[in-house]
Structure formats: structure tokens, C-alpha cells
């Protein structure tokens, strides 16, 4: 790209710089607003957060099923938090699980079902261990 499409590459790099500058301006100008939001009592802001989450869940497929699913998983998350289960590994598993399964399936197809591909070199073996 650098040799054949110089204008595109440098335009892309310039747009990244401009995007960072615009983001910095937006963040610095809205910090007082977000600090003021943090002063609102949780009893007032929690229902607002719940309503915004419900609207977001509903707009995905325009179905109440998604809102009920959101509420069920919210209750499950609350129960797990009260039982001192770490929630970060659960969120990682939910987010990365599908991709990991697809990659595992692709690896098994490429290696024709041989599991030794996961220990073929030191880096891969270390990550697997």
C-alpha cells in the first residue's frame, strides 16, 4: 500500500490524527458534564441506566424477548456478584467464546484433526499451557 497507494495511506494516517484530536476535544469539553453526572445519587441514576439498557436491548430486534433476556441476565449477574463469583472471566467467555470455537474448528480442519498442532512450537505451546 505504501508504494502503490501513497495518497490513500497518508490520508488514512492523517484521518487517524484528526480523529484523535477531535476525540480529545470532545472528551476534555465533556469532563465537567460527566463529573456532574457522578454526583447524582445512585437511587436516581440506576432506573435511568435500566431504561436506557432496555431501550437498547429492544432496538436490536424490536422484540420484548430481548428485554426479558436482558433482565434475566442482569439478575443472574447480580446473584453471581453477591456470591463473590468473578464476573470478568464470564464476560470474556461470552464475548470471545464464539470466536474461539470458530478458530478451534478451523484449526482442527487445517490440521486434519491432529491435536499436536497446538504444541507445534514454543509460543503456541506456552499459550496453550
Residue extents of the structural domains in the chain? 1-39, 41-85, 87-129
CB neighbours of 1 closer than 8 A, spacing ≥ 6?
Answer: 8, 9
Q: What is the pTM of this model?
A: 0.53
For residues 75 and 101, what is the distance between their CA atoms, to the nearest angstrom?
Answer: 27
Residue 48, pLDDT score: 92
Give CA–CA dist 105/99, Å, rounded: 10
Q: What's the pLDDT band for 56 if we cut at 50, 70, 90?
A: very high
* Residue 43 pLDDT exceeds 80: yes
> Average pLDDT, stretch 17-26?
96
pLDDT computed for residue 67 by the predictor: 94
At residue 117 the predicted structure's pLDDT band, cuts being 50, 70 and 90, is confident
Amino acid at each position: 500500500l505504501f508504494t502503490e497507494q501513497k495518497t490513500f495511506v497518508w490520508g488514512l494516517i492523517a484521518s487517524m490524527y484528526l480523529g484523535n484530536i477531535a476525540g480529545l476535544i470532545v472528551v476534555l469539553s465533556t469532563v465537567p458534564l460527566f463529573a456532574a453526572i457522578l454526583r447524582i445519587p445512585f437511587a436516581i441514576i440506576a432506573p435511568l441506566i435500566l431504561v436506557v439498557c432496555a431501550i437498547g436491548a429492544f432496538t436490536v430486534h424490536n422484540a420484548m424477548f430481548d428485554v426479558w433476556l436482558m433482565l434475566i441476565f442482569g439478575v443472574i449477574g447480580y446473584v453471581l456478584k453477591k456470591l463473590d463469583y468473578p464476573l470478568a472471566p464470564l464476560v470474556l467467555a461470552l464475548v470471545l467464546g464464539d470466536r474461539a470455537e470458530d478458530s478451534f474448528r478451523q484449526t482442527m480442519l487445517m490440521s486434519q484433526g491432529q491435536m499436536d498442532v497446538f504444541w507445534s512450537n514454543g509460543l503456541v505451546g506456552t499459550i496453550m499451557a
